[in-house]
Amino acid sequence: MTQKDRDIESLFERMARAKVNRRGFLAGTGLAGLSAFIAACTPGSTAAPSAAAPSTAPVASTPASAAPPSVAPSAVAVTETEGKLFMYNWADYVDTDNIDKFKKDFKVTDFTYDIFSSNEEMMTKLQAGATGQWDVGAPTAEFVEAMVAGKFLEKLDWLKLPNAALIDPQFQQFYKGDKADLNNYHLPKDWGTTGIALRTKDVKEDVKTWKDFFDVAPKYSGRIVVVNSPGDVFVAPLKALGYSLNSVDPKELGEARELLRKLAPHVLALDSDTYDAKLADESAVMGLVWTGGIDDLKEKPETADTKYVIPEDGTLFWMDTWVIFKDPPHPNSAYAWLNFIQDPAVQAKETVTNRYATANLEAIKLVPKELLNNPTVFVPPDVLASGKLEGAQDVSTDPLRVEIWEEFSSSIGH
Amino acid sequence: MTSQAAADRPNAVTTGRWRSRFFTGALIAPAALWYVVLLVSPIVLVIVFSFGTRNRTGGYTPGFTFDNYAAAIKSPDPFLTSLFLSTFGTILCLLVGLPLAYFIATRARKRKALLIVLLVIPFWTSFLIRTYAWLLILGQDGVAGFVQDLTGNTSFRILGTEPGVLLGLVYGYLPLMVFPLYVTLERMDRALVEASKDLGAPRWSTFRQVTLPIALPGLITGSILVFIPMMGEYVIPQLLGFGQVYTIGNALYLRFLEARNWPSGAAMGVGLILIMLVVVTVYVWFTNRGRTVRDVSVV
């Protein structure tokens, strides 16, 4: 097989697996649409609704410390649904077997899966007045604040979600201090990191931190790929300087701007959709990337030297989280889904399929070892404990950040 | 006075005229409604938004400020890049499209239908997929790699450069240039060209004085059809330009989606509309100057 054949093959693989870049804008809109189309053409499960009771029995005893804000020990799962569920979510983001199981167990005949390709797109739809159309979705956690402010979300009734008690509190308590009430609007789905990808056969330096990344960048000028997402790109300079990645302080951002100015000429591409392809053909040898697609590179013999590094000076962890939209057309189905998906066995299957870390402490025990030890999926416990990971806040709208980003993105490569 | 004149006429005529007006109105109504709902009202909304301010979570708060325009004027680079790309893209489309349309219209004979079908076939595939295909063709394992091997210049690339983006633009929009040109050239009376030759005009003069003026309406339509979408193009510069070519499309995406600042994006959008209005007006005026019949569209 020639290199070109492999490329074409990998292109088709990408098309078939739009979830590779969960946050890729173009992949999301175009290729995801294609795969949704293909999915729509595939005959669905014809399994007749079973009369058996839902197999996801509520889990009763759990440590009190792991309980979400107001979980009462007497929480009881919803078993009767409206027979329909309308989901609004990232493309290919739920295991299809789990969907079939849910349909069977809860006698749901109409399961609609609508797709958004970015949080911004979802927000824009909701702001344009699309409430009451969907039951559940999984936006990224920092968007919960704006969604609550816009009255787009239902406050969760923990009494209907016994499995919520299994969620690791450090993820459930995403919002701190006076924003803590926002944690009553979401149920963590999965999470991951932004980091550095290296082709170690080309990059000989041991790049461990964002500071290293900036230091070696001039040496690999024109061979660096960066995701086209301001929220992720600002992580690198701010963390290299030792600041919060959510900083909107003009002085700190000014210093970050200088680092980005120096980096810009060395960048080959701002690319959220095919950064892994650029790493694969070595047009890029170092990248500021998400984890999507990196494992595929590691598994292929010709790109097995690919390495994913969680920078030691700290980085961003993103978390997608289940929400119930305001005025859901099928509230019982919505609660049934949220509880069902956090059933440990169901959740472990989600982790294996999506290859993103689960926040469910019981599900982790069922996840295969090699997945737990893979840094693109799970963060090593010591890094997690070090407190160097920081959740993103919704700061992408800060005018100074917009200005710096515009300067950076219009000056890359020259 | 008109109403009095109408009142003087027999009643039947008035009814007939009223009826015909009613039918005309009924026939126009769907199109009119279409334009008002899908064209006029969005533009009005964009203009209104462009004077407003951003609300705390994104979206729009009514207001009246020129700040958004001031900010748009302060960063003219994406406007200039897009203007450059779409101007050159249009010229390239014309250079490729005119000979092609001329060939299909006058020389292709039996293969005419086949060639037209071949021009249309790419539209059956998603535009995005076709643009992805160019990534393979021009990339490290395609043309760029080949040239690198040939010349030994390892830094040679096509993707991530303005020529690469131009190539993608011409590929994507060429049919929109060819079709209107084809339509006008197809209707051209061949006798005119023969007459020109009989009277001793060299080829170039014949082309300039006979063929080109006849093709002009198609040329204008084609150029506008190609120029306008190129101005707002986002996908091609993003994919083939690697984001190194920062266009109006990028700037609008940043403002509307990343920054969720609709008013600022709206002001930029109004700027884009104004630029296109000016360019197209000047272009139509320039190409039509001296002509008595001002054709703009034949499609």
Q: CB contact, 8 Å: A412 with chain B?
A: yes
- Could you tell me which chain B residue has the CA closest to the CA of A279? B140
Tokens of A339: 């509880």
- Could you tell me which chain B residue has the CA closest to the CA of A129? B59
For residue B119, give the H/E element and its range: helix B112-120
Does residue A407 carry a pLDDT above 60?
A: yes
Cβ contacts of B154 on chain A, cutoff 8 Å: none
CB A201 within 8 A of CB A279: no
Q: Do A273 and B78 touch (CB under 8 A)?
A: no
Q: CB contact, 8 Å: B259 with chain A?
A: yes
Provide the pLDDT confidence category of residue A280 given band limits of 50, 70 and 90: very high
For residue B229, give the H/E element and its range: helix B212-231
Q: Mean pLDDT across the stretch A36-63?
A: 38
Question: What per-residue confidence (pLDDT) applies to B292?
Answer: 58
Q: Which of A7, A127, A413 sits opposite B160 (nearest CB)?
A: A413
Question: What per-residue confidence (pLDDT) applies to A30?
Answer: 43
Does residue A302 carry a pLDDT above 80?
A: yes
Q: Do A402 and B135 touch (CB under 8 A)?
A: no
Question: What per-residue confidence (pLDDT) applies to B223?
Answer: 93
Q: Spell out where A211-361 has E strands.
A: 224-226, 267-270, 286-289, 306-309, 315-324, 357-358
Does residue B263 carry a pLDDT above 70?
A: yes
Q: Do B141 and A281 touch (CB under 8 A)?
A: yes
Cβ contacts of A123 on chain B, cutoff 8 Å: 57-58, 260
Cβ contacts of B244 on chain A, cutoff 8 Å: 268-270, 412-414
The rounded mean pLDDT for chain A is 84
Q: CB contact, 8 Å: B282 with chain A?
A: no
Within 8 A by CB and 6+ apart from A55, the residues are: A101, A105
Q: How far is B169 from chain A (nearest CA, A)?
A: 17
Q: Are residues B198 and B284 in the same domain?
A: yes
Q: Which of A123, A283, A409 sits opposite B260 (nearest CB)?
A: A123
Cβ contacts of A34 on chain B, cutoff 8 Å: 126, 129
A26-30, A148-152, A218-222, A382-386: which has the minimum mean pLDDT?
A26-30
Question: What per-residue confidence (pLDDT) applies to B1?
Answer: 43
For residue A310, give the H/E element and its range: none
Question: What per-residue confidence (pLDDT) applies to B284?
Answer: 85
What percent of chain A is modeled with pLDDT above 90?
A: 60
Distances (CA, A) of A152 to A7, A136, A324: 43, 11, 9
What percent of chain B is modeled with pLDDT above 70?
A: 91
Give the helix ranges, DSSP H, for A169-315. 169-172, 210-216, 230-233, 235-240, 250-263, 275-280, 294-299
Q: Do A149 and B56 touch (CB under 8 A)?
A: yes
Question: Which of A14, A278, A283 should be substituted to probe chain B, the one whose Cβ sees the most B Cβ atoms within 10 Å?
Answer: A283
pLDDT tens digits along A370-381: 899 998 899 988
Within 8 A by CB and 6+ apart from A265, the residues are: A221, A411, A412, A413, A414
Q: Are residues B148 and B201 in the same domain?
A: yes
Q: Are residues B16 and B86 in the same domain?
A: no
Q: Which of B58, B238, B242 sits opposite A146 (nearest CB)?
A: B58
A397-406, B9-18, B51-60, B211-220: which has the minimum mean pLDDT?
B9-18
Q: Does ipTM surpass 0.85 in this model?
A: no
Q: Which of A3, A7, A121 sits opposite B257 (nearest CB)?
A: A121
CB A357 within 8 A of CB A377: yes
Provide the pLDDT confidence category of residue A54 given band limits of 50, 70 and 90: very low
Provide the pLDDT confidence category of residue A388 given band limits of 50, 70 and 90: confident
Question: Which of A288, A393, A397 should be substituted to probe chain B, the one whose Cβ sees the most B Cβ atoms within 10 Å?
Answer: A397
pLDDT tens digits along A60-118: 333 333 445 545 567 888 988 999 999 999 988 999 999 999 999 999 999 999 998 88
Residue at A238: amino acid letter: L
CATH architecture assigned to A193-314+388-409: 3-Layer(aba) Sandwich (3.40)
What's the rounded Cα separation, in Å, for the pair B274 and B28?
A: 28
* Closest of B140, B3, B264, B37 to residue A277, by C-alpha: B140
Q: Are residues B45 and B157 in the same domain?
A: no
Q: Are residues B73 and B21 in the same domain?
A: no
Question: What per-residue confidence (pLDDT) applies to A394?
Answer: 83
Measured from the Cβ of residue B281, the count of other Cβ atoms closer than 10 Å reads 10
Domain ranges of chain A: 77-185+319-372, 193-314+388-409
pLDDT tens digits along B130-148: 998 998 899 888 898 889 8
The owner of tokens 């292929």 is A300
Q: How far is A286 from chain B (nearest CA, A)?
A: 15
Q: Which residue has the higher pLDDT, A35 or A398?
A: A398
Measured from the Cβ of residue B87, the count of other Cβ atoms closer than 10 Å reads 14
A58-62, A146-150, A271-275: which has the minimum mean pLDDT?
A58-62
DSSP 8-state code for residue A22: T
Does residue B62 carry a pLDDT above 60?
A: yes
Within 8 A by CB and 6+ apart from B6, the residues are: B14, B17
Q: Do A406 and B75 touch (CB under 8 A)?
A: yes
What's the rounded Cα separation, in Å, for the pair A67 and A62?
A: 8
Q: Is residue B227 part of a domain?
A: yes
B15-19, B20-24, B100-104: which has the minimum mean pLDDT?
B15-19
Q: Mean pLDDT across the stretch A189-200?
A: 94
Q: Mean pLDDT across the stretch A315-336?
A: 95
Does residue A37 carry a pLDDT above 50?
A: no
Q: Which of B139, B239, B261 sits opposite A397 (nearest CB)?
A: B261
Does residue B9 carry a pLDDT above 80?
A: no
Question: What per-residue confidence (pLDDT) applies to A337?
Answer: 97
Taking the CA of residue A74 as centre, how many other CA atoms within 13 Å lie in the half-sphere pointing to its CB? 0
What's the rounded Cα separation, in Å, for the pair A252 and A392?
A: 17
The residues with which A308 forms a beta bridge, in sequence order, are A197
SS3 at position B144: helix
Question: What per-residue confidence (pLDDT) applies to A209?
Answer: 95
Q: How far is A82 from chain B (nearest CA, A)?
A: 33
Q: Which of B136, B246, B257 sits opposite A409 (nearest CB)?
A: B246
- Could you tell me which chain B residue has the CA closest to the CA of A394? B57
Question: What per-residue confidence (pLDDT) applies to A6?
Answer: 55
Measured from the Cβ of residue A289, the count of other Cβ atoms closer than 10 Å reads 26
Question: Which of A228, A410, A414 should be substituted to probe chain B, the one whose Cβ sees the most B Cβ atoms within 10 Å?
Answer: A410
Q: Is residue B143 part of a domain?
A: yes
Q: Is residue B158 part of a domain?
A: yes
Provide the pLDDT confidence category of residue B125 given band limits of 50, 70 and 90: confident
Tokens of B246: 């920062």
The owner of tokens 């290296």 is A198
Question: What per-residue confidence (pLDDT) applies to A195?
Answer: 94
Q: Do B58 and A397 touch (CB under 8 A)?
A: yes
Strands A224-226 and A286-289: parallel
What's the rounded Cα separation, in Å, for the pair A288 and A212?
A: 12
The residues with which A269 forms a beta bridge, in sequence order, are A225
Cβ contacts of A283 on chain B, cutoff 8 Å: 139-140, 157
pTM: 0.76
A9-18, A126-135, A249-258, A303-312: which has the minimum mean pLDDT?
A9-18
- Indicate the number of domains in chain B: 2
Question: What per-residue confidence (pLDDT) applies to A62?
Answer: 39
Q: Is residue B60 part of a domain?
A: no
Q: How far is A13 from chain B (nearest CA, A)?
A: 13
Q: How far is A336 from chain B (nearest CA, A)?
A: 30
SS3 at position A290: coil
* Closest of A9, A359, A11 to residue A192, by C-alpha: A359
DSSP 8-state code for residue A49: P
Q: How far is A260 from chain B (nearest CA, A)?
A: 15
What's the rounded Cα separation, in Å, for the pair B197 and A235?
A: 70
Q: Are residues B8 and B137 in the same domain?
A: no
Q: Is residue B276 part of a domain?
A: yes
Q: Which residue has the higher pLDDT, A210 or A403?
A: A210
Cβ contacts of A232 on chain B, cutoff 8 Å: none
67-106 in B: which are within 8 Å (CB) of A? 75, 77-78
Q: Are residues B132 and B236 in the same domain?
A: yes
pLDDT tens digits along A287-301: 999 988 898 899 999
Residue at B125: amino acid letter: T
Does residue B48 carry a pLDDT above 90?
A: yes
What's the rounded Cα separation, in Å, for the pair A410 and B249?
A: 12
Strands B53-54 and B60-61: antiparallel
Q: Are residues B27 and B94 in the same domain?
A: no
Q: Are residues B6 and B39 in the same domain?
A: yes
Q: Are residues B91 and B226 in the same domain?
A: yes
Q: Mean pLDDT across the stretch A233-257?
A: 95
Provide the pLDDT confidence category of residue B13 given band limits of 50, 70 and 90: low
Q: CB contact, 8 Å: A270 with chain B?
A: yes
Domain interval for residue B17: 2-50
Tokens of A304: 């097995």
Measured from the Cβ of residue B103, the count of other Cβ atoms closer than 10 Å reads 15
16-75 in A: which are within 8 Å (CB) of B? 25-26, 29-31, 34
Q: Do A406 and B254 touch (CB under 8 A)?
A: yes
Strands A286-289 and A110-115: unpaired
Q: How far is A272 from chain B (nearest CA, A)?
A: 10
Q: Are residues B6 and B149 in the same domain?
A: no
Q: Mean pLDDT across the stretch B107-125?
A: 88
Q: Cα dihedral sign for A255, A256, A257, A263? A: positive
Q: Mean pLDDT across the stretch B272-279?
A: 92
Cβ contacts of B155 on chain A, cutoff 8 Å: 222
Q: CB contact, 8 Å: A149 with chain B?
A: yes
Residue at B150: amino acid letter: L
Distances (CA, A) of A66 to A62, A162, A362, B41: 7, 12, 11, 52
Question: What per-residue confidence (pLDDT) applies to A18?
Answer: 41
Q: CB contact, 8 Å: A406 with chain B?
A: yes
Q: Is residue B138 part of a domain?
A: yes
- Give the domain A77-185+319-372 fold: D-Maltodextrin-Binding Protein; domain 2 (3.40.190)
Q: Which residue has the higher pLDDT, A91 or B270?
A: B270
Report the b/e string of B200-209 with b at 16+ CB within 10 A: ebeeeebbee
Q: Are residues B27 and B129 in the same domain?
A: no
Q: Mean pLDDT across the stretch A269-282?
A: 89
Question: What per-residue confidence (pLDDT) applies to B295?
Answer: 52
A211 phi, psi to nearest 5 deg: -65, -45
* Closest of A73, A23, A107 to residue A289, by C-alpha: A23
Cβ contacts of A413 on chain B, cutoff 8 Å: 160, 242, 244
